Structure 1
Amino acid sequence: MSYIPEGNRQSNVDRFSGFEDTYDRHRPGAPNEVIRILNGYLGYKPALVLDIGCGTGLSTFIWNKHAGQVIGIEPNDDMRSKAESKLYSLMNEQRDVKIRFMSGYSNRLEFPDESADLITCSQSFHWMEPVSTLAEASRVLKPGGVFAAYDCDWPPTASWQAEQAYVELLDHADELLSAKQNKQDQALKHDKEKHLANIRSSGAFRYAREIVFHNRELCDSERYIGLALSQGGIQTVMKLGFSELDEEIERFKALVAEHFQDRTLEVLFSYRMRIGVK
């Protein structure tokens, strides 16, 4: 086991092992609205963007032509390897790619003081220890630099029946893991609703706020089902061989199929971004 800085948990890293292909195929990439919002607050094209907890790079690649350099930081080897394989393919197609990936942790960034313009955490800040992460972000950000934690609400829009089944499936997976998984192996997820309060209470940022925006994407039943099955809780249940969710998963699939009826439809992803300006 590699060294993990204090404040991080091996269980949080391990939660994302073994399903990088499913994750990358079904999860949404970061929408372009992220670039417009953050560059607007920054006021100039960033020279360096750090995307922390970048997973398979879904939130990293959008910055390729919008920053001098983009570095995705991800402690999970499976997720990072998927990102690197995508980067290799991109470099065979394009010249002057501005992206690279590295292993690392949010509260131990291998960068000098005041070196980054933007630090982003897409669907990831709730897996990090907030106090030490925000202190480290403040150290690395330039004056006027921006920290942004943004997440989409689960699930995206569909029928109310499919959405309700999605939420119940995730809740039941978490309940099952809480009851049956070894305590030392359970991942620790922080409350997303406290992101803004944590940014403000850190004392490291002169201004903080929450921004809500939406993005429409095309989706069919396969992707909608894949989105649910890409959730770490459900993946952990399956990896542990628990069968209690099997019937519920089949019911969820039937409700999704009933809604989409072999069609590709627009769905709405709703995002919440919490920013801090150093």
Structure 2
Amino acid sequence: MIEHVRNNNVERFAGFGDLYDQNRPSAPREVVDILTTYLRIHPQTVVDVGCGTGLSTFIWLNRADHIIGFEPSDDMRDVALAKWEAIGKPSNVTFENRLSHELGLPSESADIVTCSQSFHWMEPNSTLHEFARILRPGGIFAAYDYDWPPVCDWTVDDRYQQLITYADKRAAQLAPQEQRAHKWSKDEHLHHIQESGLFRFTREIVFHSWELCDANRYANIALSQGGLQTAIKLGAEELHAEVSNFRELVSKAFGGESHNILFSYRMRLGIR
């Protein structure tokens, strides 16, 4: 993978770590339950790659002996470290600045490797070989993502999709070729895991999670998407009005109350 593409993918997440952390969903308990069920034993070491602000890392507290979050974005990792300090700096949790294809861990040292909403930013071949290297026999790699948008109101969902599609288009128009990020299709995750030949069992698991949400948070979930942030940073000034109109629509739909919204998750996993 060309080095500048990796750098562009990391840079895409600069500048909105707090917005991301305060509004994105924490990984649901089902993640831990599914993976520990398949592992069959209490995990000693869990490695969370592309961990962002730790939303997918801290769910392993009290469920694993040692937890390592790898995140190359300084902004995102700084938020994770601030949360780690706020809960008393647990000694079994660490955060490091590493890329997915060069984690620097000993071979066969991890029980579980996860990528939450992040595997599509990683070159799959080199990444999967690195994950297979650090996993113990019987260890599990799991890439899990949630679908956009979360289920709310169909008119809101429709406008959400329109907003993000337009923002992605503007980001592609405004970014010079050498500054563009590159992501791999999430629909190809399972295929990449299977075709690698590194895992003896693979499958996809679908599950759902409800979360209570108010209008401000729902609008900010859309605002926390990288394509929208990138387009705004590149000068798509008209998006400010589009976001304002979206906020108004969401506010009317929520009517000043909080509502449960549904996140649909897709986990693609391989057992070493």
TM-score interval for Structure 1 and Structure 2 normalised by the shorter chain: over 0.9
CA RMSD of aligned residues (A): 1.4
Shift of 1:241: 2.4
Shift of 1:246: 2.9
User: Structure 2: how far apart are the matches of 1:116 and 1:6?
Assistant: 27
User: Structure 2: how far apart are the matches of 1:219 and 1:146?
Assistant: 32
Letter in 1 for 2:38: Y
Q: TM-score, normalised to structure 2's length? A: 0.97
Structure 1 partner of 2:213: 219
Contact 2:167 2:231 in 1 (8 A): yes
Letter in 1 for 2:262: L
Local SS of the residue matching 2:217: helix
Letter in 2 for 1:81: D
Local SS of the residue matching 2:149: coil
Cα offsets for 1:135-164 (capped at 9, x unmatched): 110001000000000001111111111101
1:22 aligns with 2:19: yes
From the superposition, tell whether residues 38 and 7 of structure 1 become closer, same or farther in structure 2 (CA, over 3 Å).
farther
User: Structure 2: how far apart are the matches of 1:77 and 1:255?
Assistant: 34
Structure 2 partner of 1:150: 144
Q: Where does structure 2 lack aligned partners over 5 or more consecutive residues?
A: none
1:68 aligns with 2:49: no
Shift of 1:99: 0.9
User: Structure 2: how far apart are the matches of 1:239 and 1:6?
Assistant: 22
Structure 2 partner of 1:124: 118
| Percent identity of equivalent pairs | 50
Letter in 2 for 1:58: L
More deviation, 175-184/195-204: 175-184
Contact 1:199 1:276 in 2 (8 A): yes
Local SS of the residue matching 1:209: strand
How many residues align structurally? 272
Structure 1 partner of 2:77: 80
Shift of 1:97: 4.7
Local SS of the residue matching 1:100: strand
More deviation, 268-277/170-179: 170-179
Letter in 2 for 1:182: P
Letter in 1 for 2:26: G
Shift of 1:249: 1.7
Contact 1:8 1:129 in 2 (8 A): no
Shift of 1:64: 1.1
Q: TM-score, normalised to structure 1's length? A: 0.95
